[in-house]
């Protein structure tokens, strides 16, 4: 068996084994590439408000309204305050069941409360557990199967990378004449669908191979901690990342209320150009309160992390993008590279097309295999008939009768 035939068999069986998962990842990737743009249109009634001349309500008052709306039985884990005149405020309450196997079983509750920051009116109480884009995200992340699904997605992504590289070996032409047929469609009026399907698999797959590789490799960063750590180790010049300084709140100044108003005033002065501020509520009295100043578009990965004393609102430390080591910068950029947003709208379009091509490759590949399989059966049948030809009819031969 030649090397190319061996690669062909590897390509075939790995493709059949991972095809369904790759198809799901490709379709969900297409949807999520334009998640922000679709949300802005579909959810505009609770994402945006009419700006008023009056000042926005204090963050603490907004938090109390959200808590009263949902009830004391539900604990908020984080909330986001918009820094734009027309943005709503979002408060998120979440509790997980760590022992559950599936996505739906792992969420005891997950609610988003959207408020008008000027009036405090509740715009929407959203059950995030069944929200469309959240389900799409976790279908892409772990097939809605928790830790088991995450492993399936991770190894299917590795297989997909092997398929891309083995596909390039199979695509590689022997000479210039063959190369012309591999780089563009040579379709005519009488070209059969099998040939068209073959060209779609090979030609389109070749042109999007590089982008698909980038998307797959950035996806592995979330799938496997060892891959994430290895990438950061290499980017950091073969040295482990320096541990970040851990800061704590002063528990002697404990109060049952978070100092979110003082923190809000401070962070808006420090990062006035942020799109919004995402607050992560500390779980323990000694923990610092973390606030991320967020940006949109091509600056999203440049978010700035601030930490405050949750009781007094005292500023403790921050981590700006510019001060982070190269490995951490790359890790921050991973999502933006994965969905193409790092290049703006053109990058998102490329990511969408690459995800669509990735979803189509298992379909066109299966059609190629199925067509050859049927042809092989027909050829086997015709060879069998030619090996045992039927005797010609002899009119003089007496028919055989039973005694």
- Domain assignment present for residue 396? The answer is no
pLDDT at 44: 95
Of 107, 127, 142, the last residue of a domain is 142
Residue range 99-144, pLDDT digits in tens: 899 999 999 999 999 999 999 999 999 999 999 999 999 999 999 9
- Facing residues of 279 across strands? 79, 291
- Domain assignment present for residue 103? The answer is yes
- Domain assignment present for residue 177? The answer is no
Of 142, 165, 193, the last residue of a domain is 142
pTM score, whole prediction: 0.87
Q: CB atoms < 10 A from the CB of 372, how many? A: 12
Tell me 101's DSSP state: S
- Domain assignment present for residue 40? The answer is no
- Domain assignment present for residue 391? The answer is no
Total of domains in the chain: 2
- State the helix-helix crossing angle for 3-33 and 345-387, rounded to 10 degrees: 140
pLDDT at 117: 98
- Domain assignment present for residue 161? The answer is no
Of 324, 343, 369, the last residue of a domain is 324
- Domain assignment present for residue 270? The answer is yes
- Domain assignment present for residue 397? The answer is no
Tell me 317's DSSP state: E
Residues 108, 91: Cα–Cα separation, whole Å = 17
Q: Which domain holds residue 127?
A: 50-142
CB 59 within 8 A of CB 81: yes
List the CATH number of the domain containing 304.
Answer: 3.10.450
Q: How wide is the angle at C-alpha 228 spanned by C-alphas 224 and 234, nearest 5°?
A: 140
Residues 120, 333: Cα–Cα separation, whole Å = 35
pLDDT, the chain, mean: 89
Averages of pLDDT over each 10 residues, the chain, 403 residues: 87 93 96 92 96 96 96 94 97 93 93 97 96 95 94 97 93 75 76 84 91 96 93 86 84 85 96 96 94 91 94 94 89 94 94 96 90 68 58 54 45
């Amino acid at each position: 068996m030649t090397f190319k035939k061996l690669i062909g068999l590897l390509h075939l069986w790995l493709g059949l084994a991972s095809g369904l998962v790759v198809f799901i990842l490709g379709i969900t990737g297409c949807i999520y590439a334009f998640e922000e743009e679709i949300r802005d249109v579909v959810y505009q009634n609770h994402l945006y408000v009419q700006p008023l001349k009056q000042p926005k309500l204090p963050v603490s008052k907004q938090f109390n309204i959200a808590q009263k709306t949902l009830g004391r039985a539900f604990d908020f884990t984080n909330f986001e305050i918009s820094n734009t005149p027309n943005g709503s405020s979002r408060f998120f309450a979440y509790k997980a069941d760590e022992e559950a196997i599936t996505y739906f079983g792992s969420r005891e509750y997950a609610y988003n409360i959207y408020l008008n920051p000027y009036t405090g009116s509740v715009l929407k109480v959203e059950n995030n557990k069944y929200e469309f884009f959240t389900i799409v995200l976790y279908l892409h992340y772990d097939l809605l199967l928790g830790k088991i699904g995450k492993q399936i997605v991770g190894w299917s992504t590795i297989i997909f990378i092997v398929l891309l590289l083995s596909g390039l070996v199979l695509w590689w032409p022997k000479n210039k004449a063959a190369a012309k047929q591999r780089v563009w469609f040579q379709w005519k009026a009488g070209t059969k669908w099998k040939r068209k399907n073959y060209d779609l698999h090979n030609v389109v797959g070749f042109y999007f191979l590089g982008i698909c590789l980038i998307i797959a490799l950035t996806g592995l960063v979330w799938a496997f901690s060892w891959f994430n750590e290895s990438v950061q180790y290499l980017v950091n010049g073969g040295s482990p990342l320096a541990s970040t300084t851990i800061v704590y709140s002063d528990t002697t100044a404990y109060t049952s209320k978070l100092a979110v108003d003082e923190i809000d005033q401070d962070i808006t002065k420090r990062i006035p150009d942020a799109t919004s501020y995402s607050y992560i509520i500390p779980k323990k009295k000694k923990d610092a309160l973390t606030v991320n100043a967020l940006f949109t578009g091509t600056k999203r990965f440049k978010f700035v992390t601030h930490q405050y004393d949750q009781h007094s609102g005292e500023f403790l430390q921050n981590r700006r993008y510019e001060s982070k080591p190269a490995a951490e910068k790359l890790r921050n950029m991973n999502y933006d590279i994965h969905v193409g947003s790092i290049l703006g709208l053109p990058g998102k379009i490329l990511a969408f097309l690459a995800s669509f091509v990735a979803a189509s490759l298992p379909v066109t590949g299966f059609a190629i295999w199925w067509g050859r399989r049927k042809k092989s059966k027909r050829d086997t049948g015709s060879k069998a008939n030619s090996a045992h030809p039927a005797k010609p009819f002899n009119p003089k031969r007496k028919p055989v009768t039973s005694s």
